[in-house]
Structures are given as C-alpha cells and as structure tokens.
Structure 1
C-alpha cells in the first residue's frame, strides 16, 4: 500500500462508528490499492431464508420435508399452524443444507482428489470390484455436487438480473 492510499473520516464519524476496519486490496497495474472501509458493528437482522431449487434434485429432500412436516405438532387456526410449521421447517432445512451442501467446494476438491487417487491406483495395479464401486459412487457424488453448485449459481445470477436488470438495455434500445 502506498503512502498516498488513505481514507479520510471525521472525528464524529469515528466516534459514532467505532468498530471499523480498513482493508487494502491487491493492486493490478495501478500504483494505488483499492481500499475498503468495513463497518462490522451494524446488526442487519436475521439472514433471509432462500429456497434453493437444487434441493429438489436431492433424493432425500422430499422424504425429509414429509417426515419433519408430519412431526410438527401445532395447535390453532390453520393460518397460524401453517406459519409455525413453515418457520420450523425453515430451521430444519437450513441445518440440512449446511450438513449436505455446506462447503461444497471443499467437498468437490476432496472427491476429485479421491477419484484421482483411485485412477492412479488403477493405472498402477488395477482396482478391485469394491474399489470400482467406490470410484463409481464418488463420481456420482461429485456429479450431484457439481450440478447443485451450477444450479445454485444460476439461481443467484437470475435473482441478480431481476434486481438490477440488463446493463445493456439502453444501448440495445438505442440501436433498434
């Protein structure tokens, strides 16, 4: 970071914000670093729940939802029962998502490494029937994780597009 890369704040701002950190990002061709002032002291509230479409491709998902939904015991009006059951299901789905899809990239890397190890062993000495089945199972797991990751990224990109729109709309309409 250059001595010219600075952030200016007032004393009042510094006193009001308190828990602030400064991050210097990597510079590319410029002789200056982009700086980020990060304020960690604000409570944004609970993270909103998002349904991930790729959950529907998981063979255990519908069984989990049916089992958990029927296990919830709530009394009251139908609208209250529905709201409470959805709230409880949200917690179950968040936990399930963390267990099944949490740290997808590291799971993909681990499975790829395991498959590569089995491939190398296959080239050296061949694989037993059990190892062939294990390799096939790891390929299936890897395939499902990659499809889930792609589906999630596609879903996120679509929501961003719906929020922000197409950046080239003005250019397109000017040309037509």
Structure 2
C-alpha cells in the first residue's frame, strides 16, 4: 500500500483535489492487485483442478488432495463471481 507523503496546503478546493488524486492512485493499485490479470488467474486455477482430475483417473486422491481441489473450486467460484 502506498503511503501518503504529505498534507497539501492551500485553499480547500485545492486540498480536496490533491487528496482525491492520492486516493485515485491508491485505488488504481488496489484494483490492479485485486482484479488485474483475473482471467489468467482463473485459467491457472482451472489447470490445477485438471491436474487433480488426471491424478484421480489414475488413483484415489488423498484427503489432503481432495481438500485442496475443493478449495481451488471455491476460489474459482469466488474469482468467477468477480468477473460478473
């Protein structure tokens, strides 16, 4: 997270404008961290789920693997809901 460097001085309109500019830049960083590259993240999660599915065709998954797969599916649903 970015730190606020200083308090702007001047008339109230100028102070407000400078604070909004600072907020805008922090909001852009947050948006990129939270939503940026969302499609590639979703595709990565799908690939991980597919790996578990391939393992499941060869052998039974351990309880830890089943839990990890379930967590991936929950994560996928959460990220997918952000898209829409």
Q: What TM-score comes out, normalization by structure 2 length? A: 0.69
Larger % of helix: which? Answer: 2
Larger % of strand: which? Answer: 1
Deviations 1:81-133 (A, max 9, x none): 43322211221222232233222222211111111211222343222333233
Unpaired runs of 5+ in structure 2?
none
Are the counterparts in 1 of residues 8 and 18 from structure 2 also a CA contact under 8 Å? Answer: no
Given the alignment of the two structures, is residue 149 of structure 1 paired with residue 57 of structure 2, yes or no?
no
Q: Which of 1 and 2 has higher RCO (CA within 8 Å, sep 6+)?
A: 2
Q: What TM-score comes out, normalization by structure 1 length? A: 0.38
Unpaired runs of 5+ in structure 1?
1-63, 151-176
Given the alignment of the two structures, is residue 74 of structure 1 paired with residue 7 of structure 2, yes or no?
yes
Alignment partner, residue 68 of structure 2: 134
Alignment partner, residue 84 of structure 1: 18
Cα RMSD (Å): 2.5
Point out the structure with max Rg over C-alpha. Answer: 1
Runs of 4+ in 1 over 4 A off after TM superposition: none
